[in-house]
Amino acid sequence: GAGVSQSPSNKVTEKGKDVELRCDPISGHTALYWYRQSLGQGLEFLIYFQGNSAPDKSGLPSDRFSAERTGGSVSTLTIQRTQQEDSAVYLCASSVTAFPNEKLFFGSGTQLSVL
């Protein structure tokens, strides 16, 4: 596609429910990243995939968060038993090759609201 695509653009859920957020990176990009952006805050790194290597999960805030990337392309970020503090914009980005000194291409994000 022309850019990084994320869905849904908005998600409202009830506390305790599970949610899945989807990211479709730019075709040919080997690296994919998930960030979280809370109101008035910077971009918080969550997880990083590079090719077929094991993902770097060092940024995941708790074991309720997980992500997978199937076939080296589409990625899904799953949040189990959502809490109100999980409310944020979740941004996905991809880059041509390995991090960190690479230009990141971001999607428009998924606005998650946990009631």
Give the footprint of another protein on residues 60-89 (CB under 8 A). none
What minimum distance in Å lies between the beta carbon of 15 and another protein? 26
Q: Considering the complex, what minimum distance in angstroms separates the CB of residue 14 from another protein?
A: 25
CB atoms within 10 A of CB 17: 12
Q: Which of 25, 33, 36, 75 binds another protein (CB under 8 A)?
A: 33
Contact with another protein (CB under 8 A): which of 21, 79, 93, 112? Answer: 93
